Each structure stands twice: as structure tokens, then as C-alpha cells.
């Protein structure tokens, strides 16, 4: 089945640091990838849609300069949390949809980000 | 952001019992998806529904796409310990998740 790999699985860093999270589709090409954030005991909230070769589309309330998204190839999207602060601590999850398919998405295993 | 109304929010059952959860929305969806999330991991797809009225099974799991296209339910029969986790519905094309149903099984 479709596999999505997310790296790193856990990051602990100091306030002010920028953190990059990678999302790779291992056995399929994805023109579209999605980035979600999940706070403890809450559901997943879509942050942005990553489009290969073009700018990402951000959901309302998500700062595009804070959460930089790059989708340079059909198998890789990156999310960079710039100048991270404790309130950015969360579980970040990516998903990818095989090219040509409407649904469903396949999710990575998430990245636990802890900002001290 | 927009969310689906998923219920119940939590369930505490005995092993072997059947489980039922549902999602409703004021909006119409073309696709309903059901995912399970274990602690510290990403969601895993359980069942995908593409047609109003569709009833689909995956082992002990059965899900239905409501005829109005505004709701869906998921049933788990004869629950076992590995069914523990959080179950999410998702209305596709709008990428909206339900609030989740946390399933706990008492041995």
C-alpha cells in the first residue's frame, strides 16, 4: 500500500530555532501533500495544502511566513517552522494523495515538536 | 476551522462488545473516510466510502455512507484490545475531520 514517511519523528529544541520537517511519499508520486497540526486530545486541523511546483495554500489563521512550505518534487514536501516558540509545540502530521486519485490521503507517522 | 460532529467523543466498553460511532454534517460530502490513530502515530485509513448509501466492510469493521451524504457511521463488531485508539471520520474534498472517538476497552 501507499507509504508516507515523515522525518524526524521527534524534535526538541530551544525557542527561536527554526525546524524543518520532511514528508516523503515512498512508493507513489504526489502532486499534492497536506500538513496538519494536532494538539493533545484534539482532532487534526489542516494547516496548508502543498502543491508541487507552486505556492502552498494556507488555511485561514495560519501564518505563511511562520510555516514555510516547499514542495520541490513529486515525492517530497517540507514544512519549516521558523523561529519556533513554545506555543508552536504540537504534533505535526503530513499526508499525501497519489497522483491522479481524488482520495484517500495516506498519512505519515507525525512529528512531535517540543519547543523549550 | 470547520469540523464534523462526531459522536460519541469517548467510549468505554468490555472486550467482545460491538461499537458504533457516527459523524454528521450540515454540508454534503462526496466521500467519507474513516481513520484510526494510535498514540504518537499518524492516522491509518480503515474504510473509504464513495457513494451515497454505500455499505462497506473491512473485517470486523463496517461503515456506511448516509443516503443524504451528510452523515456516516462506523461499526466495530466483537471488539478486541487492539481496537483501542482514536477513530476519526473525514469528509473528503473539504479535508475536514471529526473530533474523534476515543475507544477504551476494559479487559
SS (H, E, C) B44-55: EEEEEECCCCCE
Q: What is the pLDDT of residue B87?
A: 97
Residue B81, class by beta-carbon neighbours within 10 Å (0-12 exposed, 13-18 middle, 19+ buried)?
exposed
Residue B85 sits at the chain A interface (C-beta within 8 Å): no
User: Pick the residue with more confidence: B92 or A12?
Assistant: A12
Q: What is the pLDDT of residue A41?
A: 87
Residue B43 sits at the chain A interface (C-beta within 8 Å): yes
**pLDDT of A2 higher than 60:** yes
Grid cell 443516503 in the structure block, residue: B67
Instruction: Name the 3-class secondary structure at A65.
Output: coil
User: Pick the residue with more confidence: A98 or A76?
Assistant: A76
pLDDT in tens, B54-76: 999 999 999 999 999 999 999 99
Q: What is the pLDDT of residue A37?
A: 96
> CA-CA distance, A41 to A24, in Å (whole number)?
26
- What average pLDDT does chain A have? 92
3-state helix, strand and coil shares in percent for chain A, rounded to the nearest 5: 5, 50, 45
What is the gyration radius of the CA atoms in chain A, in angstroms?
13
Q: Closest approach of chain B CAs to the CA of A65, in angstroms?
A: 20
> CA-CA distance, A83 to A18, in Å (whole number)?
5
Instruction: Report percent pLDDT > 90 for chain B.
Output: 81
Whether omega before A64 lies within 30 degrees of 0, making that bond cis, reads: no
> CA-CA distance, B49 to A5, in Å (whole number)?
25
Cβ of A59 within 8 Å of Cβ of B1? The answer is yes
**pLDDT of B103 higher than 90:** yes
Q: What is the pLDDT of residue A31?
A: 86
> CA-CA distance, B4 to A88, in Å (whole number)?
25
**pLDDT of A86 higher than 90:** yes
Q: What is the pLDDT of residue A102?
A: 66
Q: Which is nearest to B36 in space by CA: B92, B101, B91, B96?
A: B101
Q: What is the pLDDT of residue B3?
A: 66
Q: Which is nearest to A34 in space by CA: B27, B102, B26, B97?
A: B97
Residues in A closer than 8 angstroms to B45, CB to CB, are 104-107
Of residues A45, A103, A110, nearest to B42 (C-beta): A110
Whether omega before B17 lies within 30 degrees of 0, making that bond cis, reads: no
Q: What is the DSSP letter of A89?
A: -
Amino acid at each position: 500500500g501507499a507509504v508516507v514517511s515523515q522525518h524526524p519523528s521527534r524534535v526538541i529544541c530551544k525557542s527561536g530555532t527554526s525546524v524543518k520537517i520532511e514528508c516523503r511519499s515512498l512508493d507513489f508520486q504526489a502532486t499534492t501533500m497536506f500538513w496538519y497540526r494536532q494538539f493533545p486530545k484534539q482532532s487534526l486541523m489542516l494547516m496548508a495544502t502543498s502543491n508541487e511546483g507552486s505556492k502552498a495554500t494556507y488555511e485561514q489563521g495560519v501564518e505563511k511566513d511562520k510555516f514555510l512550505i516547499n514542495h520541490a518534487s513529486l515525492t517530497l514536501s517540507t514544512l519549516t517552522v521558523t523561529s519556533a516558540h513554545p506555543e508552536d509545540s504540537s504534533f505535526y502530521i503530513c499526508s499525501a494523495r497519489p497522483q491522479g486519485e481524488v482520495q484517500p490521503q495516506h498519512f505519515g507517522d507525525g512529528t512531535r515538536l517540543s519547543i523549550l | 476551522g470547520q469540523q464534523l460532529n462526531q459522536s460519541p467523543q469517548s467510549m468505554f466498553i468490555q472486550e467482545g462488545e460491538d461499537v458504533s460511532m457516527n459523524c454528521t454534517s450540515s454540508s454534503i460530502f462526496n466521500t467519507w473516510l474513516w481513520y484510526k490513530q494510535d498514540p504518537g502515530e499518524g492516522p491509518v485509513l480503515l474504510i473509504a466510502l464513495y457513494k451515497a448509501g454505500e455499505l462497506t466492510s473491512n473485517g470486523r469493521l463496517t461503515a456506511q455512507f448516509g443516503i443524504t451524504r451528510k452523515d456516516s457511521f462506523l461499526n466495530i463488531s466483537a471488539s478486541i484490545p487492539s481496537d483501542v485508539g482514536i477513530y476519526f471520520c473525514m469528509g473528503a474534498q473539504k479535508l475536514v475531520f471529526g473530533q474523534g472517538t476515543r475507544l477504551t476497552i476494559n479487559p
